[in-house]
Structure 1
Amino acid sequence: MELVRAIGAWPAGERDAAMARVGALGLTPSLVDQAGALRPGGTEAVLEVVNAQYGGILADSASVLVVCRQWVRRADGTVVGGGTTVDVRLRRARPKWTVTALHPARPGPPSATPSTAAKRVLATGPRIELPPAADADVRSGAVHDSVLEALLELAEKHRMAVSVLRSGHPLNVFGTDRPSDHPRGRAVDVWRIDGRPVVDPATPRHLVESFMRAAAAAGSYNVGGPVRLSGGAPGQFFSDDTHRDHVHMGFRT
């Protein structure tokens, strides 16, 4: 998260000092060249990290998805809000893990004919909180209606904060050659339910469990989270280290 802040936030007149800021963290300054949407034009920027969750974790490597909002002051003095999600890749090193690559989200352009489900999701307000990259994914038309309709069904009983939909997620299930459902617009991750972060030990277990079962009832064939549930179709529920901090919902179509 320090790396994302070092690149995506800068005081007036110091945008071009990003490499120095990254180097001061003990990281490779050329990572700035991979920052993409994290470095828009502007004279000044502030950045808020909304959430950071695992995109995958193995013994010696990891993916951390850093979800952020950003406000940039233009040369004419106007301030524009935006943000992105960055897939930060790490490898184990001493004395601490180090960053090897950045993969910022690349949502498509807005669709001229968004589906009814997309319009409804965008109109739900706080019932379905969408960070900038996920919001852009919905507007692009690249998220399947099966995902959007499930979110709308879940929003009838819960408030939820989405971390990632399509863009900003690893292309493959981390550490494998199996394509992830996320880049195909067929999955969504939720990091907060009814104001309670999934990763927080104080969040009631029954809340997470009931949400996971509701996700399965809404059509998800592949529900992952911090607890392994019984029942459902074979293999419908799963839990592993990657999903300790969010609930994953995958859809076949």
Structure 2
Amino acid sequence: MRAVLLVLATCASVALVACGGDEAAQQGTSTAAGQRSPATVPVSRPQVEPFVPDSAEVYANGKRLAGQIAQDALTYRRGATAREVAESLPDAAVSTRRLARILAPVVDPEMRSTGQVVYPQLSGVTETSLGVMVVVRQTLESADGARSSFTRVLDVRLRRSGGPWEFDSIASVGGRPMSRPASLPDEAERVLDHPNIELSDSARWDIYRGNVDPSLLTALANVADEHELAVAVIKSGHPPNVWATDRASAHSRGFAADIYAVDGELVIRQRQVGTGAHAAARMFFEGGARQLGSPWSFGGGRRSFTDPVHQDHIHVQQAAVRDVADGD
């Protein structure tokens, strides 16, 4: 699964520059990335190449803007404040003050930070709105050169009225880091330790917190026994409601997961019957998924569906949850 991230980073031509994490971050899932002499640790905002979406993307212009916004939101100088970062983004529909509050958990003035887009996945679309859950690797560097990294899911919202897409808001930064508990249920351990499952840290923290349906975890692990899966989002970073409705999403209760790559290749590039992504989706369906959104429909009424939003990922909900709508 590491190959997926390497290929995506190469395609996007993004120069990864290291940065550092606060105390909460040090207790999360960060990995040490080396250390430099304090005299050589820069303070200025890292220079990062503009994000370029994959050529197979259907909503390429919207994903380009959403990816760039997410990348810029996590790229800042040491000493920056959340308000400074918010002011550096394009004009939004929400106030700078509100945007700064949303960004506050990911802006640490003691750190220099770089954002690198891993993948921008759709969460919803209408004629006038577009939701993109951007998986971004945030690398932090402290004044003494210590580095740590996390993969967060930023819920980026766009709008338009007859013209190009414009920035609307960032609704979520994908949760806060936490340490792995000493003891977890077997199905959680199986997913977390499965060699064929690549999780964003936002999804990983959901599992740590016990916020994920056990039957969903079992289904993910069962399919991962046959296919490599890259999971973008479970709960944190996903819109709480089904897009453009007032109905709560199954993701909001941890009953659904979105997979953006299978067997090391993006789902958006595997929309033909017979691909690894198609085979994995069929395994979820035959394994009893209550709801399966993907580039294909396998029958079963609303158990399996396809639409413009689900061309770039596999959405799987394994069990029913009271008072929550099936689907995204």
TM bin, normalised by shorter chain, reads: 0.7 to 0.9
Q: Residues 35 and 205 from structure 1, CA distance in 2 versus in 1: closer, same or farther, beyond 3 angstroms?
A: farther
Which structure has the higher relative contact order (CA within 8 Å, separation 6+)? Answer: 2
Residue 115 of structure 2 corresponds to residue 115 of structure 1: no
SS at match of 2:268: coil
SS at match of 1:153: helix
The structure 1 residue matched to 2:145, chosen from 57, 77, 80, is 77
Q: CA deviation at 1:95?
A: 4.1
* 1:238 aligned partner: 305
Q: CA deviation at 1:119?
A: 1.0
The residue type paired with residue 195 of structure 1 is: G
SS at match of 2:117: strand
Q: Is the 8 A contact 2:230 2:259 kept in 1?
A: yes
* 1:148 aligned partner: 217
Matches within 5 A, 1:8-87: 8-13=74-79, 17-22=84-89, 25=90, 27=92, 30=96, 31-87=99-155
The 1-side partners of 2:163 and 2:223 are apart by 43
The residue type paired with residue 289 of structure 2 is: S
Q: Residues 166 and 172 from structure 1, CA distance in 2 versus in 1: closer, same or farther, beyond 3 angstroms?
A: same
The structure 2 residue matched to 1:214, chosen from 283, 290, 295, is 283
The 1-side partners of 2:176 and 2:101 are apart by 19
The 2-side partners of 1:171 and 1:122 are apart by 24
**TM-score with structure 2 setting the length:** 0.69
The residue type paired with residue 120 of structure 1 is: R
The residue type paired with residue 245 of structure 2 is: T
- Deviations 1:143-183, CA, capped at 9 Å, x for gaps: 11111100110011100101111111111111122211111
Q: CA deviation at 1:113?
A: 3.9
SS at match of 2:105: helix
More strand by share: 1
The alignment covers a number of residue pairs equal to: 247
- Deviations 1:200-235, CA, capped at 9 Å, x for gaps: 2x66432233222101122311101112233xx332
The 1-side partners of 2:87 and 2:240 are apart by 31
The 1-side partners of 2:81 and 2:104 are apart by 14
The 2-side partners of 1:247 and 1:115 are apart by 25
* 1:250 aligned partner: 317
Unaligned residue ranges in structure 1 (runs of 5+): none
The 2-side partners of 1:172 and 1:179 are apart by 4
SS at match of 1:37: helix
Q: Residues 80 and 108 from structure 1, CA distance in 2 versus in 1: closer, same or farther, beyond 3 angstroms?
A: closer
What is the root-mean-square deviation in Å for CA atoms of aligned residues? Answer: 2.3
The 1-side partners of 2:265 and 2:295 are apart by 14
Range 234-243 or range 41-50, more displaced: 41-50
The 2-side partners of 1:148 and 1:237 are apart by 19
Unaligned residue ranges in structure 2 (runs of 5+): 1-66, 321-328
Q: CA deviation at 1:251?
A: 2.2
The 2-side partners of 1:122 and 1:35 are apart by 27
SS at match of 2:203: helix
The residue type paired with residue 251 of structure 2 is: H
**TM-score with structure 1 setting the length:** 0.88
The structure 2 residue matched to 1:124, chosen from 194, 201, 210, is 194
